[in-house]
Amino acid sequence: MTTTEKTIKTKVSKDRYVEAVGRRKTSIARVRLIPASKNTFKINDRDLAAYFPTEELRKIVEEAINKVKIGTFDVSVHIRGGGVHSQAEAVRHGISRVFVKIDENLKPKLKVAGFLKRDPRAKERRKFGLKKARKSAQWSKR
Which residue ranges make up each domain of the chain? 3-113
| CA atoms of 15 and 9, how far apart (whole Å) | 10
CATH number of 3-113: 3.40.190.10, 3.40.47.10, 3.30.230.10, 3.30.70.270? 3.30.230.10
Dihedral sign computed on CA atoms, order 91, 93, 94, 96 = positive
- Please check whether residue 40 is in contact with residue 31, taking contact to mean a CB–CB distance below 8 angstroms: no
> Per residue of the chain (142 residues), what is the pLDDT tens digit?
566 666 555 555 556 899 999 999 999 999 999 988 788 899 999 999 999 999 999 999 999 989 888 888 899 999 999 999 999 999 999 999 999 999 999 999 999 999 999 999 999 999 999 999 999 999 999 8
